[in-house]
């Protein structure tokens, strides 16, 4: 009887937790020492647990990353990839690329049928759903590399919170049960259906979700971090993928390598911008946007006024036009980064903006800029890809002032929907971030160039934009979000909110978003933007596409006055800033 009562109380508590975590704060979360922001309170908490037990920001980020693989299966992952940007308290900057790679047997036209058409999502051979969509995962390599190079604690210690969450379970939030229930493809894969959909007896909000297979996999990783790429786990993973008809082999796993790259650097109104280099388009596009906007007095035009949104949308349009032509894996294609982030080039683009009227994307003419002309002419037609639905970002600042910004993804929500048999984790569909076929507009109309064609060992172009901003040489902002192409404009929106419109970090995360990506030629706006503003934008010639909301910015600001850590976590999902 007593046990039953305790159980009832536990369930009510869980249901309460599940129903309250989504509340969107109006003010930043304050903490004197350290802060972790992520899409899930338990994942942020895992990071803080490391910080409190002597770990640094990298230890916290790695613990949060592993915990997200348990509590946020939509995008937190072991079977995906991502980027980690680190700035140490003494100013060293490191960028770790653990993006997935195409398997050795991948070919440029592998997602085209005999007639040369893109194979649809409903087919087992598609680039989106099923075994053939899987790229060689990089997350485990990336997190373990970061921990070994820059962390202070042991691998066992930073994986421990994730093991506990997987073994003992955690209460599912409404948003999680909704995402699981509404997914169109999870049920097609028996292992995914069994684990995530309880064979059709869908989980309800507040119910405890336990993942024993995942707990075992994490325990194996804690004991032998090498096993994922070179040991028994690699062989089991490759065998599971092979059985399902996928391309990733044990040799692909053994050949996977994390890369440290030079991040992209720029400046905006005296602030230093540090962001993701290719194979992400994020940093280049962000800095190009900011360079164009630097010549306009946005503050005078006013936050979310039609005039300021117009100018920002015009800058977005131009940066996405360049993204389409020039960006891809820098290990395989020359990406003219220096030219694209040159302030003189941005000034030339700025001159093409009419402050009163919308430009027309199809008539856009790139300002002549020698190097870019040459590269553009050497490429063929533009290319389109389909855009996915889930990814996740987390930010950490520790008591010493080390900062980490990580964006990680399975690409679509729940990735390829394939769960590695017996291993308990979902695998990515990152192959879909490559160009499947030139000239075919995707669901979202995002256009890319041949620099992003599929090739063995290549990394697909990404939009993920983990970013760090310095003010007077000191850490000021840690930014990032999911959202496919909208990642770039969400990061720009949050940054401009703070820098130009003096919003605090929470206000800036909360503020209505808008997005332009060159094609389709329209501004995507969140529906909280005032109808008057929308009409003013229409009167300037913009077509608007009104959506409820998108993205999940998980950010941190340092108060320059007193060093306080201010968490800005997004109420659009279940984000939570946890600090001490």
442 binds ligand DON (CB under 6 A): no
84 binds ligand DON (CB under 6 A): no
Report how far residue 259's alpha carbon sits from residue 307's, in angstroms, rounded to the nearest whole number.
Answer: 42
From the list 139, 217, 249, 391, the catalytic residue is: 391
Size of the site for ligand DON (CB under 6 A): 14
The strand order across the sheet containing 29-31 reads 29-31, 565-569, 554-558, 474-479, 467-471, 271-275, 264-268
Give the H or E element holding residue 119. none
3-class state of residue 325 by DSSP: helix
Chain centre to alpha carbon of residue 179: 18
Between 227 and 465, whose beta carbon lies closer to ligand DON? 465
SS3 sequence of 104-135: CCCCCCCCECCCCCECCCCCCCCCCCCHHHCC
Between 110 and 464, whose beta carbon lies closer to ligand DON? 464
Q: Which of 44, 391, 493, 506 binds ligand DON (CB under 6 A)?
A: 391
DSSP assignment of 413-424: TTTTSPBPTTT-
Supply the minimum distance, in Å, between the C-beta of residue 435 and ligand DON.
13
Contacts of 171 (CB under 8 A, 6+ apart): 14, 15, 17, 18, 205, 206, 207, 208, 209
Q: Which stretch binds ligand DON (CB under 6 A): 128-136, 163-171, 233-241, 459-467?
A: 459-467
Q: Which of 86, 463, 494, 505 binds ligand DON (CB under 6 A)?
A: 463
278 binds ligand DON (CB under 6 A): no
End-to-end CA distance of the chain: 39
286 binds ligand DON (CB under 6 A): no
Report how far residue 165's alpha carbon sits from residue 335's, in angstroms, rounded to the nearest whole number.
Answer: 42
Q: 81: which strand partners? A: 409
What tokens does 144 get? 């373990």
Supply the minimum distance, in Å, between the C-beta of residue 552 and ligand DON.
8
**Hunting for tokens 């939570």 — which residue is that?**
576
Q: Which of 130, 225, 277, 388 binds ligand DON (CB under 6 A)?
A: 388
What tokens does 557 get? 């600001």
42 binds ligand DON (CB under 6 A): no
Between 336 and 483, whose beta carbon lies closer to ligand DON? 483
Supply the minimum distance, in Å, between the C-beta of residue 50 and ligand DON.
26
Supply the minimum distance, in Å, between the C-beta of residue 536 and ligand DON.
29
Q: Which of 433, 507, 526, 570 binds ligand DON (CB under 6 A)?
A: 433
Supply the minimum distance, in Å, between the C-beta of residue 551 and ligand DON.
7
Supply the minimum distance, in Å, between the C-beta of residue 79 and ligand DON.
13
Between 393 and 565, whose beta carbon lies closer to ligand DON? 393
Identify residues 394-423 at the interface with ligand DON (CB under 6 A): 409, 411
Opening angle at CA 384, ends 380 and 385, nearest 5: 140
Report how far residue 312's alpha carbon sits from residue 555's, in angstroms, rounded to the nearest whole number.
Answer: 21
3-class state of residue 147 by DSSP: helix
328 binds ligand DON (CB under 6 A): no
408 labelled catalytic: no
SS3 sequence of 423-458: CCCEECCHHHHCECEECCCCCCCEEECHHHECCCCC
Q: Which stretch binds ligand DON (CB under 6 A): 187-195, 339-347, 461-469, 494-502?
A: 461-469
Q: Which of 462, 489, 506, 573 binds ligand DON (CB under 6 A)?
A: 462
Supply the minimum distance, in Å, between the C-beta of residue 441 and ligand DON.
17
| CB-CB contact of 551 with 483 (8 Å) | yes
482 binds ligand DON (CB under 6 A): yes
Report how far residue 252's alpha carbon sits from residue 232's, in angstroms, rounded to the nearest whole number.
Answer: 14
277 binds ligand DON (CB under 6 A): no
464 binds ligand DON (CB under 6 A): yes
487 binds ligand DON (CB under 6 A): yes
Provide the binding-site residues for ligand DON, judged by CB under 6 A: 388-391, 409, 411, 433, 462-464, 482-484, 487
Residues that are catalytic: 391
């Amino acid at each position: 009887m007593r046990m039953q009562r305790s159980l009832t109380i536990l369930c009510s508590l869980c249901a309460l937790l599940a129903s309250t975590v989504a509340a969107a704060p109006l003010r930043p979360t304050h903490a004197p020492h350290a802060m972790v922001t992520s899409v899930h309170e338990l994942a942020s908490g895992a990071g803080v647990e490391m910080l409190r037990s002597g770990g640094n920001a990298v230890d916290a980020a790695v613990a949060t990353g592993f915990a997200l693989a348990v509590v946020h299966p939509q995008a937190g992952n072991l079977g995906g990839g991502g980027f980690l940007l680190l700035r140490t308290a003494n100013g060293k900057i490191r960028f770790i690329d653990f993006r997935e790679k195409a398997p050795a047997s991948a070919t440029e036209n592998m997602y085209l049928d005999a007639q040369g058409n893109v194979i649809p999502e409903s087919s087992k051979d598609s680039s989106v759903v099923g075994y053939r969509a899987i790229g060689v995962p990089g997350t485990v390599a990336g997190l373990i590399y970061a921990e070994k190079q820059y962390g202070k604690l042991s691998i066992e210690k930073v994986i421990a919170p994730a093991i506990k969450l997987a073994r003992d379970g955690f209460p599912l939030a409404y948003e999680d049960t909704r995402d699981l229930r509404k997914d169109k493809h999870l049920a097609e894969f028996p292992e995914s259906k069994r684990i995530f959909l309880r064979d059709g007896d869908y989980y309800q909000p507040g119910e405890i979700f336990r993942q024993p297979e995942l707990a075992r996999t994490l325990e194996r990783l804690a004991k032998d971090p090498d096993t994922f790429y070179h040991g028994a786990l690699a062989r089991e993973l490759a065998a599971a993928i092979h059985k399902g008809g996928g391309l990733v082999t044990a040799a692909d796993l053994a050949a996977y390598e994390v890369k440290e790259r030079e991040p992209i650097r720029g400046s905006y109104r005296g602030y230093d911008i540090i962001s993701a280099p290719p194979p992400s388009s994020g940093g280049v596009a962000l800095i190009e946007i900011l360079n164009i906007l630097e010549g306009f007095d946005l503050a005078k035009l006013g936050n979310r006024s039609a005039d300021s949104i117009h100018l920002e949308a015009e800058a977005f349009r131009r940066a996405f036009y360049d993204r389409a032509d020039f960006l891809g894996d820098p290990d395989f294609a020359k990406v003219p980064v220096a030219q694209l982030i040159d302030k003189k080039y941005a000034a030339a683009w700025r001159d093409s903006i009419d402050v009163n009227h919308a430009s027309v994307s199809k008539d856009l003419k790139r300002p002549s800029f020698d190097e870019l002309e040459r590269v553009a002419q050497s490429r063929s037609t533009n290319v389109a890809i389909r855009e996915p639905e889930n990814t996740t970002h987390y930010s950490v600042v520790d008591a010493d002032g080390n900062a980490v910004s990580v964006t990680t993804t399975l690409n679509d929500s729940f990735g390829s929907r394939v769960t590695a048999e017996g291993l308990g984790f979902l695998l990515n569909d990152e192959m879909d971030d490559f160009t499947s076929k030139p000239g075919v507009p995707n669901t979202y109309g995002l256009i890319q160039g041949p620099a992003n064609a599929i090739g063995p060992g290549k990394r697909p172009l990404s939009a993920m934009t983990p970013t760090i901003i310095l003010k007077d040489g000191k850490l000021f902002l840690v930014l990032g979000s999911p959202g496919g192409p909208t990642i770039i404009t969400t990061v720009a929106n949050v940054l401009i909110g703070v820098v130009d419109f003096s919003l605090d970090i929470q206000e800036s995360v909360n503020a209505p978003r808008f997005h332009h990506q060159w094609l389709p030629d329209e501004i995507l706006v969140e529906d909280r933007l005032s109808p008057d503003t929308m009409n003013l934008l229409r009167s300037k010639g913009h077509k608007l596409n009104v959506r409820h909301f998108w993205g999940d910015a998980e950010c941190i600001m340092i108060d320059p006055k007193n060093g306080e850590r201010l968490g800005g976590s997004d109420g659009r999902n279940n984000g939570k800033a946890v600090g001490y």
